[in-house]
Amino acid sequence: MSEAGALTGHWSARLLGGGALVVLGAAMAAWAAWSALQAPPAPYEQSIAPAAALGDLPGTTLERVEVRATGEKRVIAAGLVTHDGGRRVVPLSWSNDVTEPVFFADLNLADSVRVLAAIREHVGLDAIVLAWWDMSRRIRAVAARKAPLDDPLARGLLIPAAWSGEAGRILQRQQAFWGAGAVEEDAEAFELFLDALLMDEAHGAAALRAIAKGKETYIVLRLADVWRLAATRPSFLQIAYKDFAAADVHGAMKAARLWLQENGVVGGYAVEPRGAATRLHYLTRAQDSQILLARLLPFSTSNPLTLENFELVYQHKDCWIYRLKPPP
């Protein structure tokens, strides 16, 4: 073969190879598009629409978020939201009509307004309030106090076990909705807050003081936050629940203690009345009872009066507000 023929053959092979890559790329794109079309539908449908103004929140523009199982008319979870000055959605109430929470734990609007009023009463204008990102938004929007934490990742959204197979896709969709408007710097500060909640009391208090940069500081927590922290950091915190049907809380507690003993549960536990039943929230490992979050919430292994760095200033149902004491 001549040199010219060899050169022609070489470039023909290169062109054929390039053509093959183009064909392969097109085939992969087509496969991706086909796979997307074949992906199972989301297990739920979500809608948002304007809602009527309420006396509890005069002058606040409200919308109603509704979640339905795909193909069903029944609403399985719903809540009232507003918006802050930016694009951020501010959840004000939430109600679940299924056993497990869908994205958020139940939050009664009247209870929410009552807690926000207490924050206005107990927290000065120059103080800092540290709380989960959705509570922080409520504090800023309604209580008009400084609550700097937020999270573009909307961490701590609760996914029912029945949807666990689609958890990644669901979280991505919900994070885009609830995290919109928060900036990347918010994620870094919120990460430090989560770290502090997993420490022991002394180290956690020091970490919270660092976040607040020396300003007077308050901490607002709900019982649901322990589930959200466990969902966000499952390697560091593990929790489970069991419901007990009983006509009164005392009867449910007797049954719950017997169950805990029979099943060898060594971690702390907290009880939550739920209509005609009582829900037992229990930590599955003994060491988890010592983290700051568990110490600040009403678990059997905690006592607000024994805390050295925190002073309880207000409590209503599942919400607890502490003042962070200055360093000794």
For the chain, the domains span: 44-237+285-324, 239-283
**What average pLDDT does the segment 134-159 reach?**
97
Q: Residue 143 carries which DSSP code?
A: I
Helices (H) and strands (E) in the chain, counts: 9, 12
Name the percent of the chain lying above pLDDT 70: 87
Judging by beta carbons within 10 Å of its beta carbon (0-12, 13-18, 19+), is residue 4 exposed, middle or buried? Answer: exposed
* pTM, to two decimals: 0.86
For the cut 50, the answer to whether the pLDDT of residue 96 exceeds it is yes
For the cut 50, the answer to whether the pLDDT of residue 153 exceeds it is yes
Q: How confident is the model at residue 252 (pLDDT cuts 50, 70, 90)?
A: confident
For residues 76 and 162, is the Cβ–Cβ distance under 8 A? no
Q: What is the DSSP string of 202-213?
A: HHHHHHHHHHHT
The 3-state secondary structure of 226-272 reads HHHHHHHCCCCCCEEEEEEECCCHHHHHHHHHHHHHHCCCCCCEEEE
SS3 162: helix
SS3 101: coil
pLDDT, tens digit (0-9, with 9 covering 90-100), for 154-177: 999 999 999 999 999 999 999 999
Q: Where are the beta strands (DSSP E) in the chain?
A: 44-51, 62-69, 75-83, 89-91, 95-96, 128-130, 217-222, 239-245, 269-274, 277-283, 310-316, 319-324
Name the average pLDDT for the chain: 89
Residue of 90, 89, 86, 87 whose CA lies nearest to 109: 90
| Number of neighbours of residue 117 by Cβ within 10 angstroms | 12
Instruction: List, in sequence order, every residue forming a beta bridge with 246; answer none if it has no partner.
Output: none
For residues 127 and 218, is the Cβ–Cβ distance under 8 A? yes
**What average pLDDT does the segment 197-202 reach?**
98
**Rounded to an integer, what distance in angstroms lies between the CA atom of residue 7 and that of residue 270?**
79
pLDDT of residue 260: 93
The one-letter amino acid code at 254 reads K
For the cut 80, the answer to whether the pLDDT of residue 51 exceeds it is yes
Structure tokens at 252: 């449910």
282: left (phi over 0), alpha (psi -120 to 50) or beta: beta
For the cut 60, the answer to whether the pLDDT of residue 128 exceeds it is yes
pLDDT of residue 40: 61
**Rounded to an integer, what distance in angstroms lies between the CA atom of residue 205 and that of residue 199?**
9
